[in-house]
Amino acid sequence: MNYDLIIKKTKLFVDTYLLPIIFDIGKNIEDDFFMDYLSTSCLNDSIIKQKNIILLANKINDKEILEIGFNNGFSTLLFLNSNPNIIINCIDNLINKYTLPCYNKIREFYGNRINLIIGESLEIMPKMRKFFDLIYINNYNDLSNIVKEDIINSFYRGKNDAIIILNNNNNLSELIYIWIEIYNIYKFINIDFDIFENSFHCVKN
């Protein structure tokens, strides 16, 4: 697997198509995937997170993903570039004005491999009938009550061997505690292969 090539391809798309959309809207970038939060400075610590996405995208079976929190689509794009068989469904409440234009730009290139469901995850997920191979929960900063429900809902929306990832960009101890509490209650297990260890990704089956 050529991690560097996939990351480079994704970053080129971000720089060429997505950043101009965000800058044109005049909004700061709320990202922790390629850049520092509210900045365009490169975030070197995220290289490990990026490699994990590529690795995990190639470990799932039928390749259908749910991402809770599309935001600007940077992580979504990396999933799509990591495995050509992936179909990704994203939930987002469109709180950021750049979200829908960024989604439309990615869909222009990747077609029906990407779908956006507009609304709140706590309302949408309990009504879903589809099951997923991998569920990626983006960081909620201090909204720990929401992330707790998202983890529980992810348990019910995942297939038997689904991978659940909690992305916690600020390494908040409260979110880590919630994650541990829920995976003990619901008997999540450790994945049976090695990932790139870091303090931002919690990954379980």
**Average pLDDT of the residues of the chain:** 84
Residue 185 pLDDT greater than 60, yes or no:
yes
* Apex 46 CA angle, 45 and 50, nearest 5: 145
Residue 198 pLDDT greater than 90, yes or no:
no
What pLDDT shows up at residue 49?
Answer: 83
> How does DSSP classify residue 42?
B
- Which architecture characterizes domain 3-204 according to CATH? 3-Layer(aba) Sandwich (3.40)
Cα 11 from Cα 61, distance rounded (Å): 26
* Chain centroid to CA 71: 9
Cα–Cα nearest to 158, from 185, 124, 189, 134: 134
What angle in degrees, to the nearest 10, is found between the helix axes of 3-13 and 74-82?
140
Query: What are the extents of the domains in the chain?
Result: 3-204
Q: pLDDT tens digits, residue range 27-63? A: 666 655 676 555 555 555 678 888 989 999 998 877 8
Q: pLDDT tens digits, residue range 112-125? A: 999 999 999 999 99
Measured CA distances, 96 to 2, 72, 121, 139, 141 (Å) = 33, 8, 16, 15, 15
Torsion of CA 166, 172, 178, 181, to 10 degrees: 100
Which H helix or E strand runs over 47?
Answer: helix 46-57
- What the block records as the tokens of 133 is 């191979």
Is residue 137 within 8 A of residue 69, CB to CB? The reply is: yes
Residue 180 pLDDT greater than 90, yes or no:
no
Cα 133 from Cα 63, distance rounded (Å): 6
Is residue 54 within 8 A of residue 82, CB to CB? The reply is: yes
- What the block records as the tokens of 63 is 């390749």
Cα 10 from Cα 156, distance rounded (Å): 31
